[in-house]
Structure 1
Amino acid sequence: MKPTRIRMCHSLVMNYGLYKKMEIFRAKPANKREMSQFHTDEYVEFLSKITPSNMNNFVKEQLKYNVGDDCPVFDGLFEYCSISAGGSMEGAARLSRNKCDIAVNWAGGLHHAKKGEASGFCYVNDIVLGILELLRYHKRVLYIDIDCHHGDGVEEAFYTTDRVMTVSFHKYGEYFPGTGELRDLGIGKGKYYSCNFPLRDGITDENYKSVFEPVITQVMQSYDPSAVVLQCGTDSLSGDKLGCLNLSMRGHANCVKFVKSFGLPLLLLGGGGYTMRNVSRCWAYETGLAAGVELGSEIPVNEYYEYFGPDYKLDVRQSNMEDMNTREYLERIKGIVLDNVRKVGGPPSVQMTDIPRTADDYADDNADEDMDDPNERIPVRQRQKMIQPDMELSDSEDEGEGGRRNHQSNKSAGKAPASEKTPEIEIPTSNLLSTNSQATRSPHTATTAVSSETVPSPAGAAGTADTAEKNGAAAMDLYIQPRQRNWIVMAQRVIRPLITSLPRATRISTRAFHVSAARVASTSPFTERTGVNLSETKYRAVSDSLHSYGSYLIQCLPKFVQQYSVLKDELTLYVAPSAIIPVLSFLRDHTQCQYKAVMDITAVDFPTRDQRFEVVYHLLSVRHNARIRVKTYADETTPVPSATSLFRGADWYERETWDMYGVFFKDHPDLRRILTDYGFEGHPLRKDFPLTGYTEVRYDEEKKRVVYEPLQLTQAFRNFDAASPWEMVGDGKDVKPEAFKLPVAKPAEEQKKP
């Protein structure tokens, strides 16, 4: 992901003469306010402050925001994020203003970044920011991802809306980020607006084309977008260091050519790609396709010419890698995907109005950026000409043919000379390419487009309820009711100062206020205490995270989740019977839930209640290593919707619950007894079987079922003497119960007689 690959691509574009067919300009870097349209204020502020010199002061924040391993800290980190995000936002703004037909930002395409954390070499999700800009003028935006990795960050951001449809073709299985399952279709209004096509290793150009073009054609027909964003990650090319697909340069570029043929406003973005010579070749070739120019096969002489040896050709060929994608597998997956796409509804009835901008939006904080160093007065464009030896994730001699021929640089790359400092990572200015006249991006304000909330992990890895409330208010989330959100914010702002002013002995945990209004006004029959057990200090950290996660779930599903409770390290949601299917679907399919395993379904009987049964669902998320309980209620006649359509394992669990408790499950395919014998009347755990009386329950071999027969007594009743340790047996006569009397003490007068 080093910026050298962007400079190499730009050098090819210039030396091929493509600049004559398009306008090339430096995009205005995005500022903190623009990044906060999607990302949280705290996360953006963290990125702006952390540097390699002070990173030891942000150890806790690095863990919280997932910065350090796959997303290391380097000098110029925030500048890099600003340039990448600003390029995509400016390209989207130019498309919306009809300033160009196609906009290109190869420095963008960072599709793994989440609202409040970095992931997979991605710090700021420029794709989401660009789509939010497009949604200011376009009713529907289509996002297509041909990177080898799943675009989880973009899918998560628009998982609950029908104004953005995400389509991703990616390697699925034991592969980062582990998301993008075929069944991940969206939730709520976003159902069927998330489309995933999981691939296996080694797919070729022919097989890729056979699935890409039919799926995109059907998406265009069913969804009818007015703008398209295409993420062109090149780690799907053959020979990529971190990829496992087998596309040639022309097979990869065929996707760009096919999407361009629909004639819609198109934003081309970069993405993954870790073999720099192939990345620059592919993106330069696709830039030519966007400009309508067929590039020659000979690489023109340029400052990076030695990188493209030994053939110096503009081509990336397929290898002899085995294609694990059989024809039967691709046809089966394609059929399922096409069926799901056909279920997409018509265009939404959204009134499109421009959002007025303030005077501050037109201010350029980087007007003097040409002079990078006021002491040396070196323009940025001149600084970009300085070629820097590549370190990590670059081509080297051990890669075989095509390795870089600067032997002196390779030998000295491991250590810096004593008289020189190790070169710092250089951040080039993003070059935004468009195929029409030059114009400047209009600044951005808060958009009315749909964005996802801050998503705390079930294991407590990200965010708090406060952050979700603060940053979610700027976006129009389909699940959050404005009055409810305002009530929460008001409670947090007004009540917390009162709490902190109390003496320590009387102070109340503020976690009690991380609850929506639906929890306070709930009239559900649940009686379990939902407060926090302050005496539990062992699970305090986990409990805090679960409270944040429970608040997030209530915010996402305010119509369905009535309340939640946290006991030690376990979270329980309380829902109405009609909400079982929507809630379980959300917990199973949402990328921050992934509760794909049902561990148990059971019930608890409270005979004195009107709704005497509590039905309990135990779910497990293997991805997050987390458990969750979902509780609903029912009486003896009202059925609960069956979960067999979501979990295959629910079949036997629901049969067992009906057999033991008598809870009916609607739409269950085979609701019959599983533990008791056929013919048994009643349900054992409701005590619906005789403990006393004169009825015998037994299994009849001839009738092959349980029969009930009157009890015939053939043994004398036993007479018990409480004063004796021995059982006293009667005289052998068959005494009826009504004639049987316990011995009584003699009167006092009789005891006194001699």
Structure 2
Amino acid sequence: METATGFNKKVSYFYDSSVGNYYYGMQHPMKPHRVRMAHNLMLNYGLFKKMQIYRPRLATESDVTKFHSDDYVDFLRLVTPDNMNEYASQLHQFNIVEDCPVFDGMWQLCQISAGGSVGGAVRLNHGDTDIAVNWAGGLHHAKKSEASGFCYVNDIVLAILELLKKHDRVLYIDIDIHHGDGVEEAFYTTDRVLTVSFHKFGEFFPGTGDIKDIGSGIGKNHAINFPLKDGIDDEAYHNVFKPIIQSIMEIYRPGAVVLQCGADSLVGDRLGCFNLSTKGHGECVKFVASFNVPLLVLGGGGYTIRNVARAWCYETAILCGQENLPDELPFNDYIEYYGPEYKLHVNATNMENLNAKEYLEKYKNKILENIRRIGRPNAATHEIPPDAYEDSDEEEDDRDIDTRRSVSELDKRIARNDEYSDSDDEGDRRHHDIDDRRQHELDDLYTERASRSFKTNTRTRYPRAAQRDTLDRNHSADSSDAEDKDDLSNMNTSKEDAKMMEGENDKDLPTETPIDTNVPEKTEEVKKEEEKVVDGSHEKEDVTTSAMEQ
């Protein structure tokens, strides 16, 4: 199979602006905010002009149960930090422990992640795009009935199942430092999916991925694992990665490829021990994309978040044919994170490479021998199931530009004082010293606005992804109040939606989530109530929200 030296491809990029609002908890290394940082960096490099940007539909319970068990999904939907004591027995059953805690908005974050990956697969199946990107996806450890390694819903498996509706063979490639155990386990006995993982092996989570694990039954030789040691650098990594992927593409000939780009394999990662530069990591993405096969690119691990944002921005640029970005970072909402160097690229260090050439050659040759035993599967002709999103034709976002900007204006991030300073590595470059008094004022402000919009007395510290459209519709009623409130500039409020509109393609930014602008007719009782004016005692009641709720 020939590779292409240049890129001129249609790229669909999936992003939900609320993803950065979710918080796993104090001291937890997983920071969804890294996706927002990467997105903001892309916008300031102008990459939004080179791709179509979509807000993903939220994956439904029905979507997720195509792989995960019903009782596990019910648990994820219903459990919250407030009621988790009622689910004490199930917490252990579903492996909801320190690594995978219950946190506010847990189910909504799973919906965003899975919705973007499945949405990308649908567009690839339709031939609407050449490459689909979802940096909020790539959660490769989740099992059928169990959370694992910071992962609750395996969006990768759901996306591959969607791709299998159209393609007889799908290749899954994992360059995260951790073994992609959840995906391998899901397809271990089939020849329609070939999984290949390059990972740290030994006394390292999850402890699986031996070179001897090659699949079973008709799936024999369709699971490929390359166990690596500490300190592997760009050259050594590419010397095993490229020949193996080249051989797989020539022999297996997949109809689509899913690439998990976990950034914890980068040099300097808080939980990693490899020595890959951003350019070395990106070279793997470039090589896979060069085969001109429908490609779904996903995120994954990555816990030094400034480097994660750099890597995913750079790899998005590669996919858009804009590899030669200036190394000097443009000004962006999170510029202070990248000091003192303020550069795009992270270079390898003089870390010792424990992977001897003889070791790598021996394992590479063994894997190439196994690949030669692979035969193309004879997938029986069958009726193609309906898409996960049957009405997948995206609608244009026809809202007025001021209304569209209100999404980010309302999407205020409330940062924990210690959220980005729970390690020496991350903390020395952060400035989030918001005192308790200011924090409580901001909490009260957001709670007041949320309760007015949603008629609830619950303190809402983190906005739910499912409430986005309601926020859009209610902004006009809240905007005058918001202007009189304290300045929120010290909060990490993202301006990506507003900046996105400044591009020349501002009319071509579709959304995967149709916006319902049909507010129900007001009843006579409501109209009469609106006409009542109470002098100085209180304002008119906001009946629009009540009508929508009815």
Give the TM-score of the pair, scaled to structure 1.
0.53
Instruction: Determine which of 318, 323, 328 is the counterpart of 1:289.
Output: 318
State the aligned residue count: 428
Whole-angstrom CA distance in 1 between matches of 2:378 and 2:513: 26
1:95·1:265 contact (CA, 8 Å) conserved in 2? yes
The answer to whether structure 1 residue 103 and structure 2 residue 148 are counterparts is no
The answer to whether structure 1 residue 328 and structure 2 residue 358 are counterparts is yes
Which structure has the higher relative contact order (CA within 8 Å, separation 6+)? 2
Q: SS at 1:408's partner residue?
A: coil
The answer to whether structure 1 residue 94 and structure 2 residue 123 are counterparts is yes
Pairing of 1:189-204 with structure 2 (within 5 A): 189-204=218-233
In structure 1, the partner of 2:415 is 389
In structure 1, the partner of 2:182 is 153
Q: Which amino acid aligns with 2:424?
A: D
In structure 1, the partner of 2:431 is 406
Whole-angstrom CA distance in 1 between matches of 2:42 and 2:350: 30
In structure 2, the partner of 1:529 is none
Offset, 1:12: 0.6
Q: Which amino acid aligns with 2:354?
A: M
In structure 1, the partner of 2:283 is 254
Whole-angstrom CA distance in 2 between matches of 1:21 and 1:208: 30
In structure 1, the partner of 2:384 is 354
Q: Which amino acid aligns with 2:154?
A: N
Q: SS at 1:277's partner residue?
A: helix
Offset, 1:399: 2.1
In structure 2, the partner of 1:123 is 152
Q: Which protein shows a greater Rg? A: 1
The answer to whether structure 1 residue 143 and structure 2 residue 172 are counterparts is yes
Q: SS at 1:144's partner residue?
A: strand
The answer to whether structure 1 residue 242 and structure 2 residue 271 are counterparts is yes
Gaps of 5+ in 2: 1-29, 445-459, 469-495, 515-550
Offset, 1:322: 1.1
In structure 1, the partner of 2:341 is 311
Whole-angstrom CA distance in 2 between matches of 1:206 and 1:363: 42
Pairing of 1:226-241 with structure 2 (within 5 A): 226-241=255-270
Residues 403 and 144 of structure 1: is their aligned pair in 2 closer, same or farther, counting only changes over 3 Å? same
The answer to whether structure 1 residue 268 and structure 2 residue 268 are counterparts is no
Percent same amino acid among aligned pairs? Answer: 53
Instruction: Determine which of 288, 302, 309 is the counterpart of 1:280.
Output: 309
Gaps of 5+ in 1: 371-376, 444-754
Offset, 1:440: 6.8
Instruction: Determine which of 58, 76, 94 is the counterpart of 1:29.
Output: 58
Q: Which amino acid aligns with 2:153?
A: V
1:99·1:438 contact (CA, 8 Å) conserved in 2? no
1:87·1:105 contact (CA, 8 Å) conserved in 2? yes
In structure 2, the partner of 1:76 is 105
Q: Which amino acid aligns with 1:197?
A: F
Residues 22 and 292 of structure 1: is their aligned pair in 2 closer, same or farther, counting only changes over 3 Å? same
Offset, 1:428: 6.7
Give the TM-score of the pair, scaled to structure 2.
0.72
Q: SS at 1:45's partner residue?
A: helix
CA distances 1:412-445 after superposition (whole Å, capped 9, x unpaired): 59x98565659945677999x9x9x8777699xx
Residues 35 and 162 of structure 1: is their aligned pair in 2 closer, same or farther, counting only changes over 3 Å? same
Whole-angstrom CA distance in 2 between matches of 1:222 and 1:441: 36
1:102·1:265 contact (CA, 8 Å) conserved in 2? yes
1:101·1:265 contact (CA, 8 Å) conserved in 2? yes
Whole-angstrom CA distance in 2 between matches of 1:268 and 1:138: 17
Whole-angstrom CA distance in 2 between matches of 1:284 and 1:55: 37
2:57·2:512 contact (CA, 8 Å) conserved in 1? yes
1:4·1:390 contact (CA, 8 Å) conserved in 2? no
Q: Which amino acid aligns with 1:323?
A: N
Offset, 1:408: 2.4
Offset, 1:404: 2.4
Q: SS at 2:433's partner residue?
A: helix
Q: SS at 1:297's partner residue?
A: coil
Pairing of 1:158-557 with structure 2 (within 5 A): 158-293=187-322, 294-356=324-386, 362=391, 379-384=406-411, 386-389=412-415, 394=420, 398-399=424-425, 403-406=428-431, 408-409=433-434, 412=435, 421=443, 424-425=461-462
Q: Which amino acid aligns with 2:342?
A: Y
CA distances 1:197-249 after superposition (whole Å, capped 9, x unpaired): 00001100010010000110111111110100000000000000011111000
Offset, 1:149: 0.2
CA RMSD of aligned residues (A): 3.3
Whole-angstrom CA distance in 2 between matches of 1:202 and 1:28: 39
CA distances 1:118-143 after superposition (whole Å, capped 9, x unpaired): 00000000000000110010110000
Q: Which amino acid aligns with 2:315?
A: E
Q: SS at 2:198's partner residue?
A: strand
Higher share of residues assigned helix: 2
